[in-house]
Amino acid sequence: MFKQAEMAPLSSAFLIAMLLFGLVDSQLTSDHHDHFNMVFMEADKDNNGILDKSEFINSFTVYDGNKDGTVTKKEYMDHNTVVMPEHLMIVDPMFDKYDMDRNGQLNISDYQKFYPLMDANNDNLVTEQEFHNYWVSVFGDHSMMTMSMSG
């Protein structure tokens, strides 16, 4: 295991390497699908296969380690790294997608603006299928990766 202080630089280098040699030129792997499923299941508190808006907003607090209402990229990465280190390469670009106002931090306003993007049929509910389709469409778009690497 890495010591805590070494985590950030190591994981950035790892990410860039994975983006360059892995994701950019390839399709989604089963790890990515696993990660989408895991995030969905973690947020769908009543396990009914539908992520309603309040469940989605509440899922924000899972990442907010110090409970100050803001989730930094480090907090977000730390949570996901602890849960599943091999999912790291997909977590960084997911954070950037959630960050609707692009200020480098997440708060509830970002989540409120983000929710409708996943709701393909505009019925104010996000089904597991909609959630999955959304992320598959994001990561099928290579400009997402380019953006993440340059930003």
Ligand X SMILES: *[C@@H]1O[C@H](CO)[C@@H](O)[C@H](O)[C@H]1NC(C)=O
Residues that bind Ca ion (CB under 5 A): 44, 46, 48, 50, 99, 101, 103, 105, 110, 119, 121, 123, 125
Stretch that binds ligand X, among 29-37, 103-111, 116-124, 125-133 (CB under 6 A): 103-111
Q: Which of 12, 37, 103, 146 binds ligand X (CB under 6 A)?
A: 103
3-state secondary structure of 39: helix
3-state secondary structure 108-142: HHHHHHHHHHHCCCCCCCEEHHHHHHHHHHHHCCH
C-beta separation of 63 from 74 below 8 A: no
Q: What are phi and psi of 82, to 5 degrees?
A: -65, -45
107 binds ligand X (CB under 6 A): yes
Binder of residue 109, out of Ca ion, ligand X, none (CB less than 5 to 8 A by kind): ligand X
| Residue 68 engages ligand X in binding (rule: CB under 6 A) | no
**Binding residues vs ligand X (CB under 6 A):** 69, 101, 103, 107-109
